[in-house]
Amino acid sequence: MEIAAYLASVFIGVSLGLIGGGGSILTVPVLVYMFGISPMVSTSYSLFIVGSTSLIGAFGNYRKGAVRIKTALLFGSTSITTVYLTRKLIIPLIPENLFKIGEFYVTESLLTMLLFAVLMVAASVGMIRSKERKPGCLECDLKGNMIRMLLSGIGIGLTTGILGAGGGFLLIPTLVLVLGMPMKEAVGTSLLIIALNSLIGFAGDIGHFAIDWVFLLKITAIAISGILIGGLIGRRIDASLLKRGFGWFVLVMGIYIISKELLHV
């Protein structure tokens, strides 16, 4: 199981390198089910692993001219603030037993994994059904698009903060359809935003959990090797085909988690 878990860690980076997102969708299930780490600590570890891996990927894309720094900072400012406040102020207040239904307690761990699985299913449907669409234009409706960017940033920040998910599957459509950004630049810019969101979110966790740095850095190094592999593969395989294939994989994973958690109850 341990060897399989380390191999699965490679795919965290591969997914980020291929489609600019999806790494956190794999990270939390790998940490919870394959390494046996609690869901709440896994969301924290996920922020560091995905953030560090995305930062390496963003740097590689920046060298190719495929990252818009100003856009990343503008869009990311709202989501970064939301992530930090969520991890620093809200997460520590969440009790282990949230509420009771009859004789059954709905725990923080159960709800976290179920919400994460629902997020996986929703993301997978979007990836499977996605089609090429004509990009939007930021300059055509600056005020309207800025409001949408603000709301998207808050939504992505909450998703990242609560579930440890970088939000790449939300970022890519926003960057392409709202900002009119080419897909390659959207992938690179998404990686930078994910890196900023995740690492600052992890900073908000410091002091709340006992961190196994040796383990965390080891998994991060493996994921970073994966993003380098993903970048090489992405040059040779059609991106839309990869995205749909990954979508089906995520859908199966999401359904598995829902079934496992509910049957375990």
C-beta neighbour count of 79 within 10 angstroms? 30
Residues, the chain, total? 265
Strands annotated E in 188-234: none
pLDDT, tens only, 55-104: 988 888 888 888 888 778 877 788 888 888 888 888 787 777 777 776 67
Q: What are phi and psi of 178, to 5 degrees?
A: -85, -45
User: Whole-angstrom Cα distance, residue 180 to residue 182?
Assistant: 7
User: Whole-angstrom Cα distance, residue 254 to residue 28?
Assistant: 12
pTM over 0.85: no
What confidence category does residue 138 fall into, taking pLDDT thresholds of 50, 70 and 90? very low
- Using DSSP's 3-state secondary structure scheme, residue 227 falls into helix
pLDDT at 24: 67
pLDDT, tens only, 14-68: 877 766 666 667 788 888 888 989 888 888 898 899 889 889 888 888 888 888 8
pLDDT, tens only, 159-217: 777 776 656 666 776 676 666 677 678 778 888 888 888 888 888 778 777 889 999 99
pLDDT at 159: 76
User: Whole-angstrom Cα distance, residue 163 to residue 90?
Assistant: 12
In the chain the first and final C-alpha atoms are separated, in Å, by 24
User: CB under 8 Å to 151, separation ≥6 — which residues?
Assistant: none
- Pairing of β 104-107 and β 97-101: antiparallel
Name the residue ranges covered by the structural domains of the chain: 2-264
pLDDT at 137: 47
